[in-house]
Amino acid sequence: MASITVRNLDDNVKKRLRKQAAENGRSLEAEVRDILNRSTALPKPTQFKTGLDLVRPLLDFAAKHGGVTLDIPPRTPMRDLPFQEEATPFRPADRTKRRNPRRK
């Protein structure tokens, strides 16, 4: 069996580990050993490379269960927007009024 030493561990972390060990009825060393075993035994989460990788499970599920049929609504013309004659067109600000006062 191998041994490791963890230096510069925060005192609060050690206190929380000791409390957690007592709640689980284990020694501090057994609690840390269990935490390390569980954290290294977990499978790594899937790293998606593209959007298709993310959607592929959903597509496979839909294909397995017969897919999904959506009714496409009929196209209708756009609604008419009210015409505003009094609207003024955009005009850029007059640049001659914004001169640097320090510059002569």
Q: For residue 40, give its domain range.
A: 11-64
Residue at 59 is within a domain: yes
Residues 6-59: tens digit of each pLDDT: 999 999 999 999 999 999 999 999 999 999 998 888 777 777 788 888 888 888
The answer to whether the CB of 46 falls within 8 A of the CB of 56 is: no
Residue at 51 is within a domain: yes
Pick from 37, 21, 39: which is nearest to 29 by CA? 21
Residue at 36 is within a domain: yes
pLDDT of 70 strictly over 90: no
Predicted pLDDT of residue 43: 79
**How many domains does the chain fold into?**
1
Residue at 6 is within a domain: no
Residue at 42 is within a domain: yes
Residue at 15 is within a domain: yes
Residue at 101 is within a domain: no
Judge if pTM exceeds 0.85: no
Residue at 85 is within a domain: no
